[in-house]
Amino acid sequence: MRYGLKVAYRHLASNLSQTGLLVIGVAVAVFIFIFMSALIGGLADLMVNRTLGGFAHVTIQAEDRELPVLETGSNAELLVARQKSTRDATGIRDALPLLPVIDQLSGVAVSSPQITGGAVLIRGERVRQVGVTGVQPDRVTAIVAFDRYLQEGSLSLTGDGLLIGATLASDMNLSVGSPVTLRTDQGNTASLRVSGIYSTGVGQLDRASAYVDIRTARSLFDIPNAVSRIELKLTDLYEAEAVAARITATTGLDAEPWTATAQQLYEGLRAQSDTGLILKSFALITIVIGVASSLMLTTYRRRPEIGIMRAMGASQGFILFIFVTQGMIVGLVGGLIGASLGLAVLTPLTPSGEVAAGQLPIDVAQGSFGLAIGLTMVGATLAAILPARAASRIDPVEAIGQ
Amino acid sequence: MTPPDAAPLVELRGLTKTYGEGETATMVLKGLDLTLEKGRMIALLGASGSGKSTLLNILGTLLRPTAGRFTMLGQELFGADDATLTDFRNRHIGFVFQFHNLLPDFSALENVIFPTAVREGVESAQARLRGAELLELVGLADRTHYRATKLSGGQKQRVAVARALMNKPDLILADEPTGNLDSVSAQQVMELIKVVNQREGTTFLISTHDERIAAQCEGRLEIRDGRII
Ligand SMILES: Nc1ncnc2c1ncn2[C@@H]1O[C@H](COP(=O)(O)OP(=O)(O)O)[C@@H](O)[C@H]1O
Ligand SMILES: [Mg+2]
């Protein structure tokens, strides 16, 4: 086999212009593959972040509670009944012992148990209605990437810490260190201090949300043991439905994938990812066609040599091996060059923080480099098999042409 | 100089070869009988188109006869499978063709040692040593590392003779080996073949339609109308 490798290499090296062109072609296709992966991946992240801000991939909530039926007599006036949430205000009671189980489930990256509720934020004369989310202080960034959005202060929530959005802060003239009061509908209050101010670009989060320590939220909303919901991030966004189903199956809890709540976004991302898949497939097909046609040419040009080798006692297997190996070498070298090119070009193109206007949302980390090289090698090898098989079956007498 | 064991190297009995099928079928060899003794240097004569190449290719196991018996070194080769024939060819038969003899991307030495390397899977130091000796024998020691394409026609044929000798074959088939050469180069190649035949005792079967070539061989066969006469 070592000798077969030598012959294959010699064939490639002796026709540098043909080999070079072929390798460049393969490398370009690999680059396009990687570029598409990085762009579609980055674009998906951007759309997800822009549309939903920090959002959970799967949300575990308490079961729906039936709305009470409004009964009115024929002469009675209809009173407007406001139901803020159809969820059971007492939350998920039996969830806490299940948390380690959920964390261990395959596909789950991180979980964040939360207590949520409405409250008013008070500072002197100023009052604003806000949605309060109590999170574990060590999981502040689990769902929303506050570390990326922090403008001032820190993310420390322990004790009387409070995280608010920039719009809310400027509306109420708050800065880091400002003392504030939260008061709930139940009449509970908490005295807190602004520890950090973020700006996500998502209106609701920046204008009317406040994040506190989950222990603070427990006493504010009188929920001593349960949690309102558990939000999850997954390792793969597109696995949400499967993971949600698995959670429901293992724990009996009601788990909702993001796809159920953000149908349009989901469909948009799917279409985008399908488009990327088609373009990547074209890149692979280009590689296969390029390698196959180049090898067809090579085996045709080398017919007399193949005849000589067969006459000297080279087996059909040897002929097959040297030409399949040529396809494999071209795939490997082209793949490595294309991947290096991808890394060199896409790394500086990847925005370090927020994607600025006019910038491509490329994410080099999502370039699928290994997959690109692997598929290219497999594709190039498969492409080589047909011409190589034909070469191994050449009639030596005819090829030598005596 | 016939070696002591007189068992024939090759025996053909009632051998036929038909090209094509149906209406276009042409029978080129028509029940040919032939016995080749070891160590001889035989000329195969015949008009152009008489079937010399056909016979050599059958003897070289590159072409399958249509019918008849074909034994070599006591082994029946008629109907043997491709792997058996390939291995037999590699060990027992050497070729010198008229055209397209060498692998163009390989050096003279690499060409010479190909038959051993392809069997062993590596170019061993031992094979290299023998290859260099053979190049010296054919007078091309100073061309060892030349690319095949950089050699003259006569030099190429001499490298081909060296390569044919590489695996110490029992039979070397040369199909018009000088047909493409000027008379000086042709004579050099013939001298070389004579030396090898005498020194190594290798059997040569040389097809030609050139009387001057045939005159230098120790025996002659002529093919006419599909048979040896
Ligand atoms: N592959 C083939 N198909 C059909 N006819 C062939 C083929 N090869 C040789 N022939 C015919 O067989 C006859 C003998 O050819 P060949 O053995 O090459 O003769 P020579 O070498 O003596 O000139 C010729 O008539 C030739 O046309
Ligand atoms: Mg001929």
pLDDT digits (tens, 9 = 90+) for A70-80: 555 556 555 55
Contact B166, B88 (CB under 8 A): no
What's residue A359's pLDDT? 80
- Best residue of B86, B91, B102, B208 to probe chain A, by most A CBs closer than 10 Å: B86
Residue in B62, B83, B121 closest to A311 by CB: B62
Domain parsing of chain B, residue ranges: 10-228
pLDDT at A119: 94
Q: Do B103 and A308 touch (CB under 8 A)?
A: yes
| B208 within ligand 1 shell (Cβ under 6 A) | no
Burial A139-168 (b: 16+ CB within 10 A, else e): bbbbbbbbeebbeebebebeebbbbbbbbb
Q: For A249, list phi and psi in degrees, rounded to 5.
A: -65, -40
Give pLDDT tens digits for B28-78.
999 999 999 999 999 999 999 999 999 999 999 999 999 999 999 989 999
Is residue B52 in contact with ligand 1, taking CB distance under 6 Å?
A: yes
Tally the residues of chain B. 229
Q: Say if residues A81 and A105 touch (Cβ distance below 8 Å).
A: no
**CA separation for the pair B93, B84 (Å, rounded):** 13
Tell me the Ramachandran region of residue B126: left when phi exceeds 0, alpha when psi lies from -120 to 50, beta otherwise: alpha
Any B CB within 8 A of A173 CB: no
Confidence at residue B110, expressed as pLDDT on a 0 to 100 scale: 97
pLDDT at residue A25 is higher than 60: yes
- Which ligand 1 atom is at minimum distance from the Cα of A402? 18
Q: Say yes or no to pLDDT of A85 above 60.
A: no
Dihedral (Cα; B143, B144, B148, B151), 10-degree rounding: 10
Give the type of residue at B219: G
Contact A144, A233 (CB under 8 A): no
Best of B52, B100, B101, B161 to disrupt the A interface (most A CBs within 10 Å) is: B100
Q: Residue B103 and residue A305: Cβ atoms within 8 Å?
A: yes
With bands split at pLDDT 50, 70 and 90, how would you rate the model's confidence at A93?
A: confident
- In chain A, the residue whose alpha carbon lies closest to the alpha carbon of B166 is A312
- The first and second tokens of residue A28, run together, are 């370009």
> What proportion of chain A, given as a percentage, has pLDDT over 90?
57
What is the per-residue pLDDT for B14? 94
Residue A398: pLDDT over 60: yes
Task: State residue A301 phi and psi, 5-degree precision.
Answer: -65, -30
> For position B1, what pLDDT does the model report?
42
Q: What is the rounded CA–CA span in Å between residue A245 and residue A267?
A: 19
Q: Give bridge partners of residue B64 from the DSSP assignment.
A: none
Residue A55: pLDDT band (50, 70, 90) is confident
Chain-wide mean pLDDT for chain A? 87
Q: Which of B228, B96, B221 is nearest to B171 (CA)?
A: B96
Dist. CA A330–CA B111, nearest whole Å: 25
Query: ipTM, 2 decimals?
Result: 0.94
The per-residue pLDDT for range B191-205, each reduced to its tens digit, is 989 998 998 889 999
Task: Give the Cα separation of B199 and B161 in Å (integer).
Answer: 14
> In sequence order, what are the beta bridge partners of B43?
B206, B220
Residue A83 has pLDDT above 50, yes or no: no
Size of interface A-B (CB pairs under 8 A): 80
Q: How many CA atoms lie within 13 A of B91 on its CB side?
A: 9
Residue in B closest to A8 by C-alpha: B105
Contact A11 B95 (CB under 8 A): no
Partners of residue A133 on adjacent β-strands: A116, A211
In a 3-state reduction of DSSP, which class is residue A226? coil
Low-confidence ranges of chain B (pLDDT < 70): 1-6
- The pLDDT of residue A314 is 97
Q: What is the pLDDT of residue A67?
A: 47
Mutate to test the pocket of ligand 1, among B18, B28, B59 (most ligand atoms within 8 A of CB): B28
CA atoms within 13 A on the CB side of A83: 12
At A75 the pLDDT is 62
- The pLDDT tens digits for A94-126 are 777 888 888 888 889 899 999 999 999 999 889
- The CATH architecture that domain B10-228 belongs to is 3-Layer(aba) Sandwich (3.40)
Nearest-CA residue for ligand 1 atom 18 is B53
Q: For residues B55 and B46, what is the distance between their CA atoms, to the nearest angstrom?
A: 11
Residue A79 is predicted with a pLDDT of 54
Confidence of residue A251 (pLDDT cuts 50, 70, 90): confident
The answer to whether the pTM exceeds 0.80 is no
In the prediction, which pLDDT does A258 show? 85
Least CB-CB distance to B115: which of A14, A313, A316? A313
Cα(A398) to centroid of ligand 2, in Å?
12
Residue whose C-alpha is closest to residue B104's, from B150, B173, B58 = B150
Ligand number with the minimum distance to the CA of B98: 2
pLDDT for the residue A73? 53
Q: Which residues of B touch A401 (CB under 8 A)?
A: 99-100
Condensed to tens digits (0 to 9), the pLDDT of residues A173-213 reads 999 999 999 999 888 999 999 999 999 877 888 999 999 99
Structure tokens at A42: 């980055």
Work out the average pLDDT over A327-351: 93
pLDDT tens readout for residues A232-242? 988 887 788 89
Contacts of A321 (CB under 8 A, 6+ apart): A1, A4, A8, A388
In chain B, which residues have their Cβ closer than 8 Å to the Cβ of A3? 117-118, 120-123
Contacts of A396 in chain B (CB under 8 A): 62
**Would you say A201 and A53 are in contact if contact means Cβ atoms under 8 Å apart?**
yes
CA distance A397 to A304: 9
Tell me how far the alpha carbon of residue A77 is from its chain's centroid: 52
| Strand pairing report for A229-234 and A254-257 | unpaired
| Predicted confidence (pLDDT) per residue in A141-168, tens digit | 888 888 888 999 999 998 899 999 999 9
Q: Which two tokens stand for residue B150?
A: 């950089």
Residues in chain B with CB shorter than 8 Å from the CB of A320 are none
* Burial (CB count within 10 angstroms: exposed 0-12, middle 13-18, buried 19+), residue A74: exposed
More confident residue, A99 or A375: A375
What is the layout of strands, in order, in the sheet containing B26-36? B26-36, B10-19, B67-72, B75-76
Summarised one tens digit per residue, pLDDT across range A268-303 is 888 888 998 999 899 999 999 999 999 999 999 999
Using CA of residue A351, residue A357, residue A360, residue A363, what is the dihedral sign? Answer: positive
> For residues B222 and B211, what is the distance between their CA atoms, to the nearest angstrom?
12
In terms of CA atoms, which chain A residue is nearest residue B64? A397
- Which contiguous run of DSSP H or E holds residue A261? helix A258-261
Q: How far is A2 from chain B (nearest CA, A)?
A: 6
Q: Tell which residue, A157, A153, A223, A213, has the closest CA to residue A188.
A: A223
**Cβ B74 vs Cβ B92: under 8 Å:** no
Task: Flag whether residue A45 sits within 8 Å of chain B, measured between CB atoms.
Answer: no
Say what the pLDDT of residue A63 is: 63
Spell out which residues of chain B touch residue A11, defining contact as CB-CB under 8 Å. 105
